[in-house]
Structure 1
């Protein structure tokens, strides 16, 4: 089966912004749980940097990056939606970081963190929803963006736990261990569900399905299950989960390109 070439700029964009969004979801959650307050600022910085780098990666996909404003001039386009969501995520993360430094009230911080977390979840889903189109039957299912969101979850939780391990070593991470376990299970289900719906996962595509399910799903889930029993190995388990999840996240996004037969050039050099 002839397939469309993998658009690596878009793969990196959706992978990095997805991890960023779910990292900040954990930051927002800890505003209420209060388990690792020392990790809030560095984790927020990590989310902000990942989102910015991811956004820059998407711009490199354009054949004429200097015309980005023209591409953003169409509010109904996927590019516009993604850019707005990434921008809003970055704005609210930045505002949250400033509020932390200035000692803003707990209530105000919680509001800003929750709004930022909502945008983080939305970008992890909408980055995949943009590809849903009737001309690509394998893509035209909600399982595609759902898989985008679910595979990003363990990456974000693991990224947050890496920061916690480095900056808040005495933190109680039981809730986040459970979150990593659940996120891993959901990621594996999401990857397999989309592959089954696409119905064309063979050869290299099958390898991507297995890699996505195992690396973004099974490994983080196992690490999440082990964390309560081996809290002294938080950094090793979190870092291992993040590394594996990052590869699995990329594999899932590559899978999308592998299961679609080209009918027309989706990305004409018009920008």
Structure 2
């Protein structure tokens, strides 16, 4: 039996991956370039929206979306869907807390959350691809290169989204150049 294109799954991986990448890039920009407050806020709100929409796409790709609560009940099984849900939960919480700390202008807290955002964004992007590595019945999926492909694609999408936000805000030219270079490098790796 041939597996057709699962559009909700494709949209989930692209949209949620862009959210994880945007979260990681917001953290990197915070540590490397100290972007303006509005740029950070827009980027973090964007990450939250992307992760939320990605989460909805994850539900829609299930054969029986009404069984979604069963997947939540089995998070500690660390199955593919459990890894995706954990990534979405940690990413969403990190982005929300980072946004709140940015709004309070707590510089020390921003740096701590920047590091957390980078780690969560990178780990969750990798785990998105690793969830398919577990499917040994699909030889094309059962390769660790797939997980790295997801990682680099997610980070490149996030960096491009951040660059678009920063360019629109025109607050930080040096940071924009840094993120643009990172996006180009990641696109080559993807």
Question: Same fold by TM (over 0.5)?
Answer: yes
Where do 1:141-156 residues align within 5 Å?
141-156=143-158
**Aligned partners of 2:91 and 2:121: how far apart in 1?**
6
Aligned partner of 2:96 in structure 1 is: 94
Aligned partner of 1:113 in structure 2 is: 114
**Aligned partners of 2:172 and 2:122: how far apart in 1?**
28
**Aligned partners of 2:30 and 2:88: how far apart in 1?**
22
The secondary structure found in structure 2 opposite 1:130 is: helix
Matched residue count: 185
Aligned partner of 1:20 in structure 2 is: 19
Aligned partner of 2:42 in structure 1 is: 42
Work out which of the two has the higher radius of gyration on C-alpha atoms and give 1 or 2.
1
Q: Whose RCO is larger (CA < 8 A, sep 6+)?
A: 2
Is the aligned partner of 1:182 residue 2:185? yes
5+ unaligned residues in a row in structure 2: which ranges? none
The Cα of 1:123 is off from its aligned counterpart by 1.8
Where do 1:209-220 residues align within 5 Å?
none
RMSD of the TM alignment (CA)? 1.7
5+ unaligned residues in a row in structure 1: which ranges? 188-271
Q: Deviations over 1:198-226 (max 9, x none)?
A: xxxxxxxxxxxxxxxxxxxxxxxxxxxxx
Aligned partner of 2:170 in structure 1 is: 168
Q: 1:85 and 1:170, CA in 2 relative to 1: closer, same or farther beyond 3 A?
A: closer
63-72 or 9-18: bigger deviation: 63-72
- Deviation >6 Å, runs of 4+: none
172-181 or 19-28: bigger deviation: 172-181
